[in-house]
Amino acid sequence: MSAASSPAEYTFDNVHPEAATQLRLLGQILDGRTHDVLDPLLIAGDRCLDVGAGAGTIASWMLSKVRTGFTDLPGGVVAFDRKPIHVPPADGLTVVTGDATSHDFGDSIYNVIHARLVLMHLPDREAVLATLVRALRPGGRLVVSDWDCTQPERMLLRGSPDTITNFLAFQRALLGFAVSNGASLDWAQRLPRALEYAGLTEVRADVHSQMWRGGEPGALLHASNSVQLQQQLLDRGVELADLEQMRLALDDPATCLWQYPMVTAVGTRSVDA
Ligand SMILES: C[S@@+](CC[C@H](N)C(=O)[O-])C[C@H]1O[C@@H](n2cnc3c(N)ncnc32)[C@H](O)[C@@H]1O
């Protein structure tokens, strides 16, 4: 396997001072649900890959499942990211720096591959999906989760008129910037079909969302994103005073909002593949 030399555009940046907070909040919001999906798929001795590993919480958790003290099977996990600086090292965890859009993940290597909130950002996501399918062992499982970002106007359940206006302006600017970097806002809706098209069988999928109050992780994530992308948001016409008002509201329990719906799709590489 080779590391990539020229990463594709990505809206956020793990070297930004706010990135550790963003990735920690993602883990707090999403890891429980991801554990529920992955748990029945993992057995001791499995080889796993986490693409776009972020803070490494899922890679580390998968490692705890496949490398137990009760077996000497050589299970292990690869945490792959273009900037894996937040992934803590661990025995059995291989951290690989690379660009998923150009990386060769190999053929028939992994029992389980997980990719959360990364394919939606990649312009050539179908081609990356094909390389991930090839990297699965026959009978191996691919688990992909992405946000459905098509309806930002439905997210805020309760907030002052200023909060409603400012939150929507922030969302539109953020999502517009992400799209200009190649992200897809509706890819999540197409995920199950994309897994089937990539040749996976037994594809199933679900959608999960949750209401969050101001001050809780699902609200604070938006405030963190607005800090990390502040300059890009100002460049797209958002006013600093409006961002500051929104951040205060996102820390106020009177504010209520839905998270973006998260689509999770699971598919199996046929044993005949
Ligand atoms: C939104 S974060 C999600 C992190 C983690 N999967 C999670 O759900 O908590 C996206 C991650 O994908 C990584 N990433 C973005 N583009 C990538 C690429 N082309 N190749 C590899 N990793 C990439 C980023 O560096 C970042 O760590």
pLDDT in tens, 112-164: 999 999 999 999 999 999 999 999 999 999 999 999 999 999 999 999 999 99
Q: Ligand 1, residues 13, 22, 81: which to mutate, most atoms within 8 A of Cβ?
A: 81
Q: Is 214 in the pocket of ligand 1 (CB under 6 A)?
A: no
Residue corresponding to tokens 């291989």: 94
Which of 10, 101, 184 has most ligand 1 atoms within 8 Å of CB, for mutation? 10
- Pocket of ligand 1 contains residue 54 by CB under 6 Å: yes
The model's pLDDT over 60-116, given as tens digits with 9 standing for 90+, comes to 999 999 987 655 667 799 999 999 999 999 999 999 999 999 999 999 999 999 999
Q: CA gyration radius for the chain? A: 19
Question: Quick check: 158 and 194 in contact, CB under 8 A?
Answer: no
Distance CA 272, CA 199 (A): 11
Distance of alpha carbon 236 from alpha carbon 227, whole angstroms: 14
The answer to whether the CB of 83 is under 6 A from ligand 1 is: yes
- pLDDT beyond 50 at 3: no
Q: How far apart are CA 156 and CA 169, in angstroms?
A: 12
Q: How many CA atoms lie within 13 A of 96 on its CB side?
A: 23
Neighbour tally for 143: CB within 10 Å: 20
CB neighbour list of residue 8: distance below 8 Å, 6 or more residues apart: 99, 101, 122, 123, 124, 182
Q: Of 6-10, 153-157, 187-191, give the lowest mean pLDDT range.
A: 6-10
Which residues does 15 contact at the CB level (< 8 Å), separation at least 6?
A: 83, 85
Q: How far is the CA of 197 from the centre of ligand 1 (A)?
A: 23
The pLDDT value given to residue 2: 34
For each of the domains in the chain, give its residue range(s) and CATH number, in order of start.
Answer: 19-268 (3.40.50.150)
Question: What is the reported pLDDT for 63?
Answer: 96
Full-model pTM: 0.95
Q: Atom 17 (ligand 1): residue with closest C-alpha?
A: 82
| Rounded-to-integer distance, Cα 116 and Cα 147, Å | 9
Other C-beta atoms lying within 10 Å of the C-beta of residue 167: 24
Q: Which atom of ligand 1 is nearest to the CA of 7?
A: 19
